[in-house]
Structure 1
Amino acid sequence: MNPWERYVVPHLISCACATRPIMKQREKVVPEAEGVVLELGCGAGTNFAMYDAGKVDHLYALEPAPGMVVKAKRTASELGIGKSIDFLETGAENIPLTNNSVDTAVITFVLCTIPDWKSALAETKRVLKPGGKIVFTEHGLAPDEGVAKWQRRVEPVWKALAGGCHLTRDTGAMLREAGFALEGAETMYLPNTPKIAGYVSWGAARIA
């Protein structure tokens, strides 16, 4: 890991993923988590304060970046919930949980970055209980060709600067390919956000 990725990227991602429009997106889905919850890519713990304590029995917070884990543990401590979270310091491609052990998987602005998203979603499917669900909000490929063209042009540089974040992944298509059926999915361009990074989708998904 080079110095940029180790020292700069965690701070950039923390700031970018906590802008007001993105926080509003998170607020739409995180409170829907219930039971035993697995959050993929918890980052700096941005979602922690949004969980409904009356609905969540336990939270597993998965995060592979050491710098982010430090930030997330600090956030949990500040919220007074550090002892109620198990941190899984690894990637989503190999989730260290047993089959059928999770009620809700929370995926917020992380599928854009996971190197092997197919393995990550396969692992998520494996650990979900029958009837379990994913709640998600992600940015990705825009439906407007003019915007999509610029996403494709900018993506190589964007990925290098933003910790591997892709602009052109299609969240709905990815979930369907992984064997999930979308429930109540919605899309929009975020206000006050460049369109190349501001086309978002959100909703829930269950094993088809």
Structure 2
Amino acid sequence: MSFYTDVVLPRLLDRAMANEELVPYRRRVAGAAAGRVLEVGLGSGLNLPFYGPEVNHLMALEPSRPLLALAERRSAAGRLPVAFVAGSALAIPLAGGSVDTVVTTWTLCSMPDATAALAEMRRVLRPGGTLLFAEHGRAPDRWVARWQDWLTPAWKPLAGGCHLNRPIADLIQGAGFGLIDLRTGYARGPRPFTFMFEGRAAPR
């Protein structure tokens, strides 16, 4: 660990991810969650205000303890109790088939092994459960994708391991999910950073 990783990066990520452009995604994705919910990659807790009354239990998994501390402070003013866990999506500490909904927002980009993490999410989801996601990743435009490939090696150490060029829909399907709904497109901002994947999937 380093001063940058422990102190600077968590605050940079909190500020960057608080971008108002991302609020509609958060409202739609977190707002659609129901039942026993697991949020993977909680970050600093920016989704917490958008969970609705259909959620009866929320567990939040985050590997960064500094980000988890920010999220705990943010949750103190909320109505929904949250079970915070400092842990990795590669070993989710839940029994198989024990979750109704898994939520990920701008998380798959930074996981060391997104395929293995998605397999864990599939394991903990009950039959008929739902994966809700909003992620950024590989753009369909060739020139944008080339920029993403070129920028990613330099960007990763600055942004907590973020890959700009991951094919999010392919990763989700490759981990044993079927896509129920998928919306893609550019958000406002530089195109190598802003091609979005939003939707829902279910274990096949």
**TM-score, normalization: structure 2?**
0.98
Task: Report whether the alignment pairs 1:181 with 2:185.
Answer: no
Structure 2: stretches of 5+ with no match in the other structure:
none
Q: CA RMSD in A?
A: 0.9
**Structure 2 Cα separation of the partners of residues 80 and 176 of structure 1:** 34
Q: Is 1:196 the counterpart of 2:192 in the alignment?
A: yes
In the alignment, the residues of structure 2 paired with residue 170 and residue 23 of structure 1 have an alpha-carbon distance, to the nearest angstrom, of 23
Matched ranges for 1:86-125 at <5 A? 86-125=83-122
Amino acid at match of 2:198: W
Q: Which residue of 1 aligns with 2:66?
A: 67
- The Cα of 1:80 is off from its aligned counterpart by 4.5
Cα displacement (A) at 1:174: 0.3
CA distance in 2, matches of 1:105, 1:80: 20
Cα separation, 1, equivalents of 2:3 and 2:165 = 26
* Matched ranges for 1:37-186 at <5 A: 37-52=37-52, 54-81=53-80, 84-186=81-183
Matches of 1:25 and 1:69, distance apart in 2: 21
Deviation at 1:26, TM superposition (A): 1.4
Unaligned 5+ segments in structure 1 are none
Look up the SS of the partner of 1:86 in the other structure. Answer: strand
> C-alpha displacement at 1:18, in angstroms?
1.5
TM-score (norm 1): 0.96
Task: Name the amino acid aligned to 1:198.
Answer: T
Distance across 2 between alignment mates of 1:100 and 1:184: 22
**Is the 1:121–1:178 Cα contact (8 Å) retained in structure 2?**
yes
Query: Aligned residues, how many?
Result: 204
Deviations 1:69-112 (A, max 9, x none): 1001000112244xx21111101100000111000000100000
Answer yes or no: is 1:207 the counterpart of 2:195.
Answer: no
SS of the equivalent of 1:78 reads coil
Deviates more, 1:171-180 or 1:112-121: 112-121
